[in-house]
Amino acid sequence: MAGERAAVRYAKAVLSLASEKNAAEAVNADMALIANTIAESNELNDVLQNPIVRSSVKKAVFQEVFKDTNPLTANLVDTLISNKRIALIGEVAKQYTILYDQLKGSQIAKVTTAVPLTEALNAKVLAKVKELTGKEVEVQNVIDESILGGFVLRVGDMQYDASVANKLNKLKREFTLN
């Protein structure tokens, strides 16, 4: 929890600085690349998280993997290394992209379903969420077979749960109370 709060602070600081220097979009591209690469590479994540690996080695690995980053991104890495917080870089990158999307007026709507969304259904969800929020929305489909059917829609801090599993749990609670 404390790491997440620190990551948000670093992300806000970098976004503020990048906005001042008109480089927010370039830094956002770097952050998206960093977040995806760390999420997909267990080896890179292990190196960055390992307290035994020296900071100089972590910096060298990071610079080798991400060669053509914006100077502001490189400064962030240097700051995290000097503050012994380089393990947070993946979370900082995720938080930055979220904050950048909010700044640009777009959001991510997570739709959890038991089966993948069809193109037509995806378009309907996109239109409805855009109508409700009044913002540009990107639909991200998460497949979770444990919900059995229906869907769970999450936009920002709002959640609408129309899953079969949720309805069954409500019935179960209702019967146990009576």
* 147: CATH: 3.30.910
Rounded distance between C-alpha atoms, residue 92 and residue 72, angstroms: 13
Residue 138 is predicted with a pLDDT of: 81
| 76 and 6 within one domain | yes
| 90 and 123 within one domain | no
Q: Which of 48, 80, 102 is the last residue of a domain?
A: 102
| 130 and 65 within one domain | no
| 132 and 95 within one domain | no
Q: Which of 54, 80, 102 is the last residue of a domain?
A: 102
Please say if the pLDDT value at position 9 is more than 70.
yes
Number of domains in the chain: 2
Q: How deeply is 170 buried, as exposed, middle or buried, from its count of CB atoms within 10 A (0-12, 13-18, 19+)?
A: exposed
Domain of 54, CATH number, reads 1.10.520.20
Please say if the pLDDT value at position 105 is more than 80.
no
Confidence band (pLDDT; 50, 70, 90) for 2? Answer: low
Which string of b and e fits 93-105 if b means at least 16 CB within 10 Å?
bbbbbbbbbeeee
| 76 and 111 within one domain | no
Q: Which of 54, 77, 102 is the last residue of a domain?
A: 102
13-57 pLDDT, tens digit per residue, is 999 999 999 999 999 999 999 999 998 989 988 988 888 989 889
Please say if the pLDDT value at position 156 is more than 60.
yes
For residue 40, the number of C-alpha atoms closer than 13 Å in the C-beta half-sphere is: 6
Residue range 61-86: mean pLDDT, rounded: 89
| 126 and 91 within one domain | no
| 141 and 74 within one domain | no
Main-chain dihedrals φ then ψ at residue 104, nearest 5 degrees: -85, -5
Residue 16 is predicted with a pLDDT of: 93
Residue 178 is predicted with a pLDDT of: 63
Q: How high is the mean pLDDT of the chain? A: 87
| 86 and 123 within one domain | no
| 89 and 115 within one domain | no
| 37 and 87 within one domain | yes
Boundaries of domain holding 135? 107-177
21-30 pLDDT, tens digit per residue, is 999 999 999 9
